[in-house]
Amino acid sequence: MKYIANYISVSRIIMSILIIGTETFSVPFFMIYSYCGLSDMVDGFFARKYNIESKLGEKIDSLADIVFVSITMVKIIPSLNLPKEIIIWIIAISTIKLFGIMYGFICYKKIMFLHTMANKITGFVMFITPFLMVNIRPVIIYAFLCALSTFAAVDECYHIIKGKQKFL
C-alpha cells in the first residue's frame, strides 16, 4: 500500500505512451485518455488519504503529467484546424511556462512544477476539452482555454519568482 500512488502515476505514464498508437478521438483513445485523467486524481487521493506522500511521488506525478499532456497535445493539436492566432497564443503560454522553469532552475537549482490551484483548474479544463468539442464551437473553447492557461502560467511564474510555493 505504501507505493500505490506511485504505481498509479507510473501507470499513467505507460498508458499515455499507449495513446500514441490510437486514432485521435476514437473509442480506444478516449478510454485510455479517461484512464489517464482519472488516475491523475486518484494517485493524489491515495497519497493524502493514507499519508504516503513523498518527494519521489511528487516527481513521478509531475513527470506523468508532463508525459500525458505532451503526448495528448502532440496527438490532438495536429487534428485541429487551429487559427494562427491560437497557435501564437499557445507558443506564448509555452514561453511563459519555460521562463518559470528556467528562472526556478537558475535561482533555486531545481526544476519547478508547481501544483497551484490555477494549474489544477487549467489541467481539469484541458482534460475535459476533447469531450466538450462535440457540442461547443471550437474557437470559443480555444480562446477560453488559452486565457485560462495564460493566467495559470503567469500565476505559476509569480509563485516561483516570489518563492511562495514549496518546490519539487
Over residues 7-33, the pLDDT tens digits come to 999 999 999 999 999 999 999 999 999
String of DSSP letters for the chain: -TTHHHHHHHHHHHHHHHHTTSPTTSHHHHHHHHHHHHHHHHHHHHHHHTT---HHHHHHHHHHHHHHHHHHHHHHGGGS---HHHHHHHHHHHHHHHHHHHHHHHHHSS------HHHHHHHHHHHHHHHHTTTS-HHHHHHHHHHHHHHHHHHHHHHHHHT-S---
Report pLDDT for 117.
93
Give me the percent of the chain exceeding a pLDDT of 90.
70
pTM assigned to the model: 0.81
Q: Higher-confidence residue: 166 or 118?
A: 118
Report pLDDT for 166.
53
Report pLDDT for 32.
98
Report pLDDT for 167.
47
